[in-house]
Amino acid sequence: MKTIKVKTPAKINLTLEVLNKRPDGFHNIQSIMQAISLYDYLTFELNEADKLKIELNGNTDEIPYNQSNLVYKAAKKFFEKIKKENAHLKIYIEKNIPVSGGLAGGSTNAAGTFYALNKLYNNILSDFELEELCASIGSDLNFCLYGGCRLCTSRGEILEKLPVYKQEVSLIKPKNLGISAKEAYTKFSLLKDKSNPNNTQKLKELLLNRKFDKSLIYNSLENALFPDYDELKKIKDGVKNSLMSGSGSTFFVLDSKIQTILNKNDYEIFENLETITSGAEEVNE
């Protein structure tokens, strides 16, 4: 039996500018993603077996533990890639990242699965092969594999490493509200004004010079979702300097605590987080 435990960080989008729709149905984007110190933990137990079997379990009923889970899909793709059919894999998922919150919780778990299995099989796949597997499952996985701060283009899978600007991060999310990326991008397609301020490139240049300007954080998808979700507009109006991450429903604030007149009983709040340089990594206990 072999075991490994990994921690997989959440991400925020310092910028997210949605560009044109692609022939494959996705949108081209330019986004600066940043990993933060909010983690899920995945424990893997690998045994030899007569045939391939993948079992998932975890600490929450908010996610499925079947073939629809991105962790399951990642494990299956990994075994197919290395042509391994006689393995029994058990995975326990400890969720701390809000589900469907725009923080890449599912993507970071799937990327962590590729990372962990490659470790268990003595780095049988190259970085390039891992990147190919990540891109085959979702747009955020390549970023989640490496973490840190990166410019993400195309549908999000093409990365350019940027310096991490160290700062504190606080999160606020409406309880019991999750939004899928598909819904957010579909609603964006219906907007009449799809223009962007090109803040991504402006912030990129600052980061390359080890500088930062909070006035440049920006998310194209906010205005697409506000008309249908009063809860999101209330956060934007009630929490100073807040920005929605990804497709929502989580907002973040930089270098500040969550100051709000909203009823805090209606929200999940995370404080004392920070920007980090890593992605999925092994936990030594």
What positions carry a catalytic annotation?
Answer: 11, 140
Compute CA 167 distance to the chain's CA centroid, rounded to the nearest angstrom: 19
235: DSSP letter: H
Helix (H) / strand (E) containing 28 = strand 27-48
What letter represents residue 208's amino acid? L
Whether residue 47 contacts residue 87, with contact meaning beta carbons closer than 8 Å, is answered with yes
Whole-angstrom CA distances from 189 to 93, 120, 170, 192, 219 are: 34, 42, 30, 8, 14
Whole-angstrom CA distances from 284 to 90, 100, 213, 281 are: 19, 29, 36, 10
DSSP assignment of 135-164, as one string? HHH-SSHHHHHH-SEEEEETTTTEEEEE--
Whether residue 33 contacts residue 11, with contact meaning beta carbons closer than 8 Å, is answered with yes
Alpha carbon dihedral 162, 110, 253, 178, in 10-degree steps, equals 150
* Burial of 145 (C-beta count, 10 Å sphere; 0-12/13-18/19+): buried
